[in-house]
Structure 1
Amino acid sequence: MQAVVCHGPRDYRLEELPVPTPGPGEALVRVEAVGICASDLKAYHGAAKFWGDENRPAWAETEVVPGHEFTGTVVQLDDAARARWSVEVGDRVVAEQIVPCWDCRYCDTGNYHMCAPHDMFGFKRRNPGGMASYMVFPVEALVHRISKDLPPAHAAFAEPLSCALHAVERAAIRFDDVVVVAGCGPIGLGMIAGAAAKFPAEIVALDMDPRKLDLALRTGATRAINIADTDAVAEVKAMTGGYGADVYLEGTGHPSAVLQGLNLLRKLGRFVEYSVFKDDVSVDWSIISDDKELDVLGAHLGPGCWPAAIRLIESGRLPMDDICTHQLPLAEFQRGLDLVASGAESIKVSLIPG
């Protein structure tokens, strides 16, 4: 089969590998689509920081098949896998990006998304990812069925959408809140869609791309601000009687968006950080404490949000054709990475194995 293989920073290659063989309790899946996200790009560039471990050489081990946003069709499984996941041969499935150990402090307390070993598809050799014609779902995986009627790239969007919905849950949005979402890429658009389901007073989308801001309005934003020509902090304060927003969801991964959020939130506001950052971020922490007493929350992966993400995609309420802008053959993985790095032409880029 064809597969993309990591040989180190900026050294990914399309290779021929044997089709993997599932073991007891596992499933063999024919991959239909795999998305490329910011963390894939960070791994490609060999980011050294992973969970605060400066000694780790890179996010992705060498000789691993990347890709953690995928969908595919089950082609082989045994009775144990069938009973565990309630799936059959021929079902279209997605799997959560984390492969929990189910035996650490976090897994034992229901917080499987923070599993201590933290094996994820596409980053370690133990669990090859979806940039291949076939992949194996191990016993520990969390697997969900998804409609065969969806285009494959739409089905694979369940992963970033579940992440965005988890960030929305962390924000504890209320009906009278003014919610600001920074960034209208895949995560930001998912945050807007999730926030819209909470029906707050306002959902304000921030971006520099008019095309993405238009898409944000179609996804559920009530107002769009182009930060290239408008002072977002002043605008949000003007619309809130000088107080500021109640909730700020950060989905850009740009350091300037962090300070922007701290400044445009009201006192006692809620800041939720989801992004993957390329650079360190420095801010005046007295804004968080002495000035405003903010709640600052992180969000990681999409625990418990996959069924909702799948229902939202299957409902047809989202402009998925415009969100999933590029579908490329596996052989064009480098072009896909370059499109994500640029951000100017694309929103969600997916690879479609042959």
Structure 2
Amino acid sequence: MSQTIKLPETMKAAVMTGTRQIRMEDHPIPKPRANEALIKVMAVGVCGSDIHYYEHGRIGRYVVEGPFVLGHECAGEVVAIGENVTRVAVGDRVAVEPGVTCGTCSACKAGRYNLCPDVQFLATPPVDGAFVQYMTHREDFLFEIPTTMSYETAALVEPFSVGIHAARRAGVQPGSAVVIMGMGPVGLMAVIAVKAFGAGTIIVADLEEKRLNAARQLGATHAIQVNRDDAAAIIEELTGGIGADAAFETAGNDRALLSALKSLRRGGALAIVGLPPQGDIPLPIPFIVDNELDIFGVFRYANTYPDGIRFLSSGMTDLDAIITDRFPLAETWAAMERALTSKSDTLKVIVYPNGTD
């Protein structure tokens, strides 16, 4: 280490020891490599993928084997740097982009580094995550945040980045009409993203009134409660019978996916963000072809953090509508249980490894 401040020798870590089991452990504080910084982790958001690993122990081919640390939506303070680090300095407040890529493969060189086959992504087995007091991270995936931005807002740059990436993929423009199906945390952050891109009409749909109210606070112009309203008829009316320019499906629900697809105008674009539990979903190919629809898969994000920090620090939105629950690191188990079992009452749960912001 170089340019360090005085640190303890050990730290607390919230370790997943089995499905729905979290244990607090003492771990040595890691030492940064030459191109890494040591981060004092100040805020971590609980993500849907964290909950899935916590409940099921796996997502697709990624399987939790042995003790594992969850959490990847994070921000903190630089407290030590490696000898070759120039991008950040001790004392900097930073948002942490969780996926460290190789930088040399064809995807990385094309600027689509989210598709890097060798990415090391926090809290994706076997890479431990951020439910710890200190962690190391490569300097080029750390982004300084302004003093006016809280650590919890900086942590939410990660899910916000998904919305930015989806908006770019779907070609959202000023004045666009956009439909977003699913108002979980990613869907809510997508509302902010399309608003930042200048969307004129933002139509959201969900089962839960609490989530729809949050979407309204964040900038949605119209909200549809899908178990009560005729979503197709409302969208048709709001778009003058033409359909939406773009639609996002963020819930991972096959019916929501088809509804999003059918909401589009001719030549519109569908961004598929959510991952459904089933592997194959039938799609109406004649409808897609006849209307020349563009369909985009959205896998994480790339080159989004600078814009994300700028958008969220601009004062354009108030994230209090999203953050519903706060827990210290010692209560990570309770935080995970809250996010898992109270989905109708919670939106975003934040864990504070080193005390509140």
Say whether the fold is shared (TM-score over 0.5): yes
Matched, 1:42 2:41: no
Q: 1:63 aligns with which of 61, 67, 76?
A: 67
Instruction: Measure, in 1, the Cα distance between the counterparts of 2:225 and 2:263.
Output: 15
Question: Hey, what does 1:97 align to over in structure 2?
Answer: 98
Q: Is the 8 A contact 1:205 1:221 kept in 2?
A: yes
Aligned residues: 343
2:344 is equivalent to residue 344 of structure 1:
yes
SS at match of 2:313: helix
Alignment deviations for residues 172-196 of structure 1 (CA, whole Å, 9 cap, x no partner): 0234532111122221122111211
Q: Distance in 2 between matches of 1:202 and 1:296?
A: 20
Cα distance between partner residues in 1 of 2:173 and 2:78 = 40
- Superposed, 1:239-254 pairs within 5 Å as 239-254=238-253
Q: Larger deviation: 25-34 or 272-281?
A: 272-281
Do the aligned partners of residues 92 and 75 (structure 1) sit closer, same or farther apart at CA in structure 2, a change above 3 Å counting?
Answer: same
- The letter of the residue matching 1:351 is V
Structure 2 residue 39 is matched with structure 1 residue 29: yes
Q: Which amino acid counterpart does residue 250 of structure 1 have in structure 2?
A: E
Deviation at 1:271, TM superposition (A): 0.5
Stretch deviating more after TM superposition (60-69 or 341-350) = 60-69
Q: 1:49 to 1:134 in 2, by over 3 A?
A: closer
2:29 paired residue number: 19
CA distance in 1, matches of 2:33, 2:278: 41
Equivalent-residue separation in structure 2 for 1:304 and 1:73 (angstroms): 22
**The residue matched to 1:7 in structure 2 has which SS?**
strand
TM-score of the pair, normalised by structure 1: 0.89
Per the TM alignment, residue 344 of structure 1 is displaced from its structure 2 partner at its CA by 1.1
Does the 8 Å contact 1:208/1:226 carry over to 2?
A: yes
Cα distance in 2 for residues equivalent to 1:346 and 1:120? 26
8 Å CA contact 2:44–2:73 kept in 1: the answer is yes
Identity %: 33
**Hey, what's the Cα distance between the residues in 2 that align with 1:284 and 1:320?**
35
The yes-or-no answer on 1:216 pairing with 2:204 is: no
Paired letter, 2:30: P
C-alpha distance in structure 2 between counterparts of 1:75 and 1:69, whole Å:
19
Q: Are the structure 2 counterparts of residues 277 and 331 from structure 1 closer, same or farther at C-alpha, using a change threshold of 3 Å?
A: farther
The answer on whether the counterparts of 2:203 and 2:223 sit within 8 Å (CA) in structure 1 is yes
Matches within 5 A, 1:109-258: 109-125=110-126, 127-138=127-138, 141-258=140-257
Gaps of 5+ in 1: 51-55
CA deviations over 1:62-120 (Å, ceiling 9, x no partner): 33322111011111113411x1x2x1111111221211012222112222111112210
| Alpha-carbon displacement from aligned partner over 1:242-278 (angstroms, at most 9, x marks no partner) | 3322211112222221111122223322100112433
CA RMSD of aligned residues (A): 2.1
DSSP 3-state at the match of 1:64 = coil
- Which consecutive residues of structure 2, in runs of 5 or more, have no partner in the other structure? 1-10
Asked if 1:307 is matched to 2:309, the reply is no
TM-aligned CA distance change 1:197 to 1:259, over 3 Å: same
**Whole-angstrom CA distance in 1 between matches of 2:130 and 2:317:** 24
Moved more, 130-139 or 260-269: 260-269
| DSSP 3-state at the match of 2:56 | coil
User: What is residue 333 of structure 1 aligned with on the other side?
Assistant: 332
- Judge conservation of contact 1:68–1:130 (CA < 8 Å) in 2: yes
1:291 is displaced (CA, Å) by 4.5
Q: CA deviation at 1:281?
A: 5.1
Note closer, same or farther for the CA distance 1:57–1:305 as it changes in structure 2 (3 Å cut): closer
State the secondary structure of the residue aligned to 1:268. strand
State the distance in 2 between where 1:254 and 1:336 align: 25
- More deviation, 192-201/88-97: 192-201
- Relative to structure 1, the CA distance from residue 10 to residue 214 in structure 2 (aligned partners, 3 Å threshold; closer, same or farther) is closer
The one-letter code of the counterpart of 1:114 is: L
1:74 and 1:175, CA in 2 relative to 1: closer, same or farther beyond 3 A? closer
Partner of 1:277: 276
Change (3 A) 1:24 1:197: closer
In 2, Cα distance between equivalents of 1:130 and 1:110: 26
In 2, the alpha carbon distance for the partners of 1:351 and 1:214 equals 24
Report the Cα distance in structure 2 between the residues aligned to 1:280 and 1:201, rounded to whole angstroms: 34
User: In 1, Cα distance between the equivalents of 2:319 and 2:145?
Assistant: 15
Distance 2:245 2:62 in 1: 39
Distance in 1 between residues matched to 2:133 and 2:270, nearest whole Å: 40
Cα contact 1:259–1:283 (8 A) shared by 2: no
**For the structure 1 residues 43 and 294, does the alpha-carbon distance in structure 2 shift closer, same or farther, using more than 3 Å as the test?**
same
Cα distance in 1, alignment partners of residues 348 and 35 from structure 2: 33
**1:76 paired residue number:** 80
